[in-house]
Amino acid sequence: MPYLRILLILLALLLQPAHAATPDYADLLGSWKITKVLDSSDISALDDKQAAQLVGKTLVIKRDKVTLAGETCKEPEFEHHFEDTVRYLREEAHAASGKLGLPTTVEVIDLACTEVLRKSHGKLVLYWKGFFFDAVKQDSNATAQQVRR
């Protein structure tokens, strides 16, 4: 009889609907400092001077919006996929990968109006209006200072 009870419990657990696990992108949330212009696509919405002016600015990624240089994009999706770096950049951004310092296979995270490519822990490549930028995660103290400003 105890075996039957255990079997029924296991059967009930197996028949419950599966819930898709939503990745927690808490490590992406927060403030990121744009540290360097890396390269650009063949077609971009910025010129070199405009891109250079973004260096030192703060990219803020929140669950409900992404902000950079006074521009806000609402409702980021945080959809991600892994891609062969060279092929993806050539096909999707019409750009070479040589200057970006990315791994051979890269995690691409789609946000509302842009995407980021995960370089390593605490480092991203931001693709913004046709330019690629290095972005470094700011610590919580720097984030708190940014919020106060």
Q: What is the pLDDT of residues 37-76, one digit of tens each?
A: 999 998 899 999 999 999 999 999 999 999 999 999 999 9
Q: Which band of pLDDT confidence, cut at 50, 70 and 90, is reported for residue 7?
A: very low
8 Å CB contact between 99 and 125: no
Is 105 within 8 Å of 85 (Cβ atoms)?
Answer: yes
Confidence of residue 25 (pLDDT cuts 50, 70, 90): confident
Question: How far, in Å, CA of 93 to CA of 139, rounded?
Answer: 30
Q: What is the pLDDT of residues 76-126, one digit of tens each?
A: 989 999 999 999 999 999 999 999 999 999 999 999 889 999 999 899 999
* Statement: the pTM of the whole predicted model exceeds 0.85: no
The DSSP result for 2-64, as a single string, is HHHHHHHHHHHHHHSPPPPPPP--TTT-EEEEEEEEEEE-SS-SS-HHHHHTTTT-EEEE-SS
> How many angstroms separate the CA atoms of 96 and 78, rounded?
24
